[in-house]
Structure 1
């Protein structure tokens, strides 16, 4: 089996993975903030500037990972689901980059992310049968309940980019998240599952950033292998939220990197909301996510 290239084009980030599908190991990766959802709430369009950033990021990823874009398995999510010009944009990407993106819905996004996390939990020798997973994205947040061989998922249209664009101050953002708690609780109540002993797992940029800071890392020294499996308690989330208010622009940039400084507060508030709704005091953080799930899924199909 030749190496697999998977690409996740999210609402804020472009993430490419070079994956050994035979041994289920990551060989190399490339990721970059591209801000696909910039202005999306107001215009309903993926802007030309955002499209250009994606194309430039693709070129840099090809240069680093040395892959043929025609061989890549490419998915894209919430921003493309929302944009009125998504088909036009994807045609441009295929013409200029050779990447053939598939827009996946929230359920497929949840399934693939869940697959990656199951592998990650087993790799870290942690509970992988009964857990709650959240994936905080730029345009949506996926909530998944894994109950043995069954899972239940729902995509909520609360993302770090879209909420930041819609609500310009913290009070309005907090009020909106408090209103959204009801929707989350309705979904959880419909499952009729006692989640008290389910492990709480979180993936995506916000959880991994907070975990990295806890471990003494910053954007430049970030190491997924160190961050994976880190436990974060609710009071550490609250401490990070308070710390944000005291950081200078440069200090914040050093922690979160380019393209994320405007959205980190909304991400932390979303994360905190799920702690409170789920009545959990701690979560386990993983860098693994959709692109890993796409690669694993493809590898499994080839071997079956």
Structure 2
């Protein structure tokens, strides 16, 4: 039995998890012991400058220092830290990652979009097996996992014969910076939907057709929290919730009806302005792909980092 820390530095969020790994009947089992989550807006200004800005770097470092305390990370602790699209794109990533290491002793590995998609799917695939035991409609041979991040979105066709995955250069922060308004985002949606629809068509031609849609990113989990009226976010309450397209529309309308102060109080100052873009973007995905509902879980890249490391998939 051992404990491993998994860290996901995304384009909008910084998420960490302490997981217990044990061997049971010749299989490895993973249990979440502690979690940490904050918004650092890594991709702020990246669309225009091509670089990680100093303010984002400081938020990342502060978040990591807080995470080390929250998860009790010691120098002896085994840590698997992965970072994604914002660092993939940033031309100053080497300097930024070096300073992060010097000030936090957390060493990040920049992974490709393909790796991100595959690793992100590991924990949700385990989650689906648990959910299917209670709800047989999710006992299917193929499903679509959508992980919508700050600067990219990963689409993974998860099947019994392996995954088909692709990463697309559109996320909630990049959508805001690229389009400026939700109205313009919706008006130009064909631009970012075209390659996604092409990928899904390729999958169909290979005999892969998704029977249901699953989501594990911040926007769907946040909409779940809104719908359930959670005062404090709780991943275990979110687990296995179903959301319809109407749920996204209803919760967006409620959010927009709030004052700016109330919006910030609900989701934080670094997230409030991108919430409408996230909900609109995810709804575009659902509509374009013909899904009326999606299954939501919280498990993602941070848990996947631990699983992938334990199974030797990062070597």
TM-score range, shorter chain: over 0.9
| Alpha-carbon distance in 2 for matches of 1:271, 1:9 | 21
1:112 to 116, 119, 122: 119
User: Residue 78 in 1 paired to residue 90 in 2?
Assistant: no
**TM-score relative to the length of structure 2:** 0.90
- 1:238 to 1:152, Cα distance in 2 relative to 1, 3 A: same
Bigger drift between 30-39 and 135-144 goes to 30-39
Match status 1:230 vs 2:241: yes
Match of 1:158 in 2: 170
User: Which residue in the other structure is 1:67 paired with?
Assistant: 73
Which residue in 2 is equivalent to 1:215?
Answer: 228
1:37 and 2:48 aligned = no
Q: What's the secondary structure of 2:312's corresponding residue?
A: helix
**CA–CA distance in structure 1, aligned partners of residues 280 and 227 of structure 2:** 17
Gaps of 5+ in 1: none
2:274 aligned with 1:263: yes
Contact residue 184 and residue 277 of structure 1 kept, 8 A? no
Corresponding residue number in structure 2 for 1:21: 21
Equivalent residue for 2:57?
51
The residue number in structure 1 matching 2:196 is 184
The 1:128–1:75 alpha-carbon spacing in structure 2 relative to 1, beyond 3 Å, is farther
Q: Residues 106 and 196 from structure 1, CA distance in 2 versus in 1: closer, same or farther, beyond 3 angstroms?
A: closer
For residues 177-236 of structure 1, the C-alpha deviation after alignment (integer angstroms, 9 at most, x for no partner) is 232222211111112256766111011110001011111114xx1110000110001111
Q: Which of these residues, 179, 184, 189, is aligned with residue 172 of structure 1? A: 184
Q: Over residues 243-272 of structure 1, what are the superposed CA-to-partner deviations in whole Å (9 max), with x where a residue is unaligned?
A: 233121233234323421011111111111
Equivalent position of 2:312 in the other structure: 301
Residue 172 of structure 1 and its aligned partner are, at CA, apart by 1.1
> Bigger shift: 65-74 or 55-64?
65-74
Judge conservation of contact 2:221–2:298 (CA < 8 Å) in 1. yes
SS of corresponding position for 1:261: coil
Give the C-alpha shift of residue 163 in structure 1: 1.1
Q: Which residue, 87, 92, 96 being the options, matches 2:99?
A: 92
Q: Distance in 2 between matches of 1:258 and 1:31?
A: 15
Aligned to 1:284: 295
Deviation at 1:283, TM superposition (A): 0.3
Q: Is the 8 A contact 2:16 2:37 kept in 1?
A: yes
Superposed CA offset, 1:4-61 (max 9, x none): 0111001111111100011410000111111111111111111111111111111111
Q: How big is the shift at 1:128?
A: 6.1
Q: Secondary structure at the match of 1:144?
A: strand
Q: Which residue number corresponds to residue 250 of structure 1? A: 261
Per-residue CA deviation, residues 140-171 of structure 1 (Å, 9 max, x unaligned), is 00111112222111111111011111222222
**The residue matched to 1:37 in structure 2 has which SS?**
coil
State the 1:129 CA deviation: 3.7
Give the gaps of 5 or more residues in structure 2.
23-28, 133-137
Q: 1:144 maps to which residue?
A: 156
